[in-house]
């Protein structure tokens, strides 16, 4: 079997490598460090990416120029928010109204066109809410360093945030997980909850949207679509042409994880719609020191990324899957006692959203 090279060697690449092991797939994440060795690639090897933008180094150039770089043209279109928003508009898929922030645009035009809450988003390189800034109506000016490098979006008063992770194979067939409910605090994802009965009525709407995007891009592999829910209506926030943090729950809650599904699609192996085991919780560990006591919680499945802990940095996650709401209560209580106090609101959010689900 040919080697699958991954642009990037962060936690997503590591989890792809891990997912390939039971199938004896040779998955090799490649570092962006300037001194990283240039891989020795065979003509029938495959290339994928764990992130949508990468620096130019000898190693990344070798991967990106390989003829079997799957979805290569897609990265240019989706890594920049401007063509990404244009794509959504072209497909008439609902997204927050937006404007390119060019050199002549003035603040008043933006507020007049987009409403009284306007969010500036850098076109490239933003993540975890970084590279975003609410436009201050009192200032009355757009900072120069955002011009030509950002879009402006209407602030959306959404009810909640959801995401759909789906995959398309080489034959154009589609595979979806159930929608995940996501808690973002100040940008970064803190927790996801999947397999909720109350989200089922939105599933078809979400699948139709992502299915059209995947088809239009002739995409192969896993893509994530982040959405806002406004009543019964979904609006796309952004697209990620890769495995995604809001799909980490699939490691515990689905018969095929998003990482394996992506690898299967990229390698042209048989696909299947993943069977879901039950309501599943994913808690992100952000800027939190490792605590081995987490491992004493029976249902906890810990992924620790081995990174230096810095405030707010994603350093791991814990998944819990169960046959129903009731069996999640005890592990959630145990985890609450073992996490810093600031996680209280995250655990409360999970509990609140499990209310109403079958016990």
Residue ranges in contact with ligand ATP by CB under 6 A: 96, 119, 121, 126-130, 153, 155-156, 161, 184, 187-189, 226, 237-238
Contact between residue 153 and residue 226 where contact means Cβ atoms under 8 Å apart? no
- What, of ligand ATP, Mg ion, none, does residue 126 touch, CB below 5 to 8 Å by kind? ligand ATP
d(CA 350, CA 332): 9
Between residues 46 and 286, which has the closer beta carbon with respect to ligand ATP? Answer: 286
Between residues 80 and 226, which has the closer beta carbon with respect to Mg ion? Answer: 226
Least gap, CB of 216 to ligand ATP (angstroms) = 21
Between residues 147 and 184, which has the closer beta carbon with respect to ligand ATP? Answer: 184
- What, of Mg ion, ligand ATP, none, does residue 187 touch, CB below 5 to 8 Å by kind? ligand ATP
Two structure tokens written together for 50? 């764990």
- Using the contact rule CB under 5 A, the part of the chain among 51-59, 82-90, 139-147, 223-231 near Mg ion is 223-231
For the chain, the C-alpha Rg in angstroms (whole number) is 20
The site string for Mg ion over 304-343 (x = CB under 5 A, - otherwise) reads: ----------------------------------------
In sequence order, the 6+-apart residues with CB closer than 8 A to the CB of 7 are 30, 32, 47, 48, 49, 50, 51, 54, 60, 63, 64
- 114-131: buried (b, 16+ CB within 10 Å) or exposed (e) per residue? beeebbbbbbeebebeeb
- Bridging pattern class, strands 314-321 and 4-7: unpaired
- Using the contact rule CB under 5 A, the part of the chain among 35-43, 83-91, 149-157, 220-228 near Mg ion is 220-228
Cα distances from 264 to residues 23, 171, 194, 238, in angstroms, run 10, 13, 22, 24
Between residues 130 and 345, which has the closer beta carbon with respect to Mg ion? Answer: 130
- What, of ligand ATP, Mg ion, none, does residue 153 touch, CB below 5 to 8 Å by kind? ligand ATP
Q: Binding residues for Mg ion, per CB under 5 A?
A: 226
């Amino acid at each position: 079997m040919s080697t699958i090279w991954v642009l990037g060697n962060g936690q997503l690449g590591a989890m792809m490598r891990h997912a390939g092991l039971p199938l004896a797939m040779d998955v090799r994440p490649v570092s962006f460090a300037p001194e990283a060795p240039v891989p020795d690639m065979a003509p029938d090897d495959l290339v994928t990416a764990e992130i949508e933008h990468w620096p130019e180094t000898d190693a990344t150039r070798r991967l990106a120029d390989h003829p079997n770089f799957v979805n290569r043209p897609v990265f240019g279109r989706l890594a920049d928010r401007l063509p990404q928003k244009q794509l959504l508009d072209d497909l008439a898929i609902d997204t927050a109204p937006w404007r390119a922030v060019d050199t002549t645009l003035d603040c008043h035009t933006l507020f007049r066109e987009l409403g009284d809450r306007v969010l500036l988003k850098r076109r490239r390189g933003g993540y975890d809410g970084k590279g975003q800034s609410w436009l201050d109506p009192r200032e009355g000016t757009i900072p120069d360093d955002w011009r030509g490098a950002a879009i402006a979006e209407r602030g959306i008063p959404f009810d909640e945030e959801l995401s759909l992770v789906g995959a398309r194979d080489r034959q154009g067939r589609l595979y979806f997980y159930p929608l995940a409910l996501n808690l973002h605090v100040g940008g970064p994802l803190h927790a996801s909850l999947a397999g909720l009965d109350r989200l089922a009525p939105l599933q078809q709407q979400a699948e139709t949207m992502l299915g059209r995007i995947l088809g239009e891009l002739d995409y192969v592999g896993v893509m994530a679509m982040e959405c806002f829910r406004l009543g019964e209506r979904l609006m796309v926030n952004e697209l990620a042409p890769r495995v995604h943090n809001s799909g980490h729950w699939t490691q515990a809650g689905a018969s095929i994880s998003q990482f394996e599904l992506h690898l299967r699609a990229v390698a042209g192996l048989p696909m299947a719609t993943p069977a879901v085991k039950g309501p599943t919780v994913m808690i992100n560990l952000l800027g939190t020191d490792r605590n081995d006591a987490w491992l004493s919680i029976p249902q906890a499945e810990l992924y620790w990324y081995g990174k230096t802990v810095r405030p707010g940095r994603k350093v791991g996650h814990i998944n819990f899957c169960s046959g129903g709401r009731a069996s999640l209560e005890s592990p959630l209580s145990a985890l609450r006692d073992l996490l810093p106090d600031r996680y209280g609101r995250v655990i409360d959010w999970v509990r609140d959203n499990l209310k109403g689900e079958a016990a």
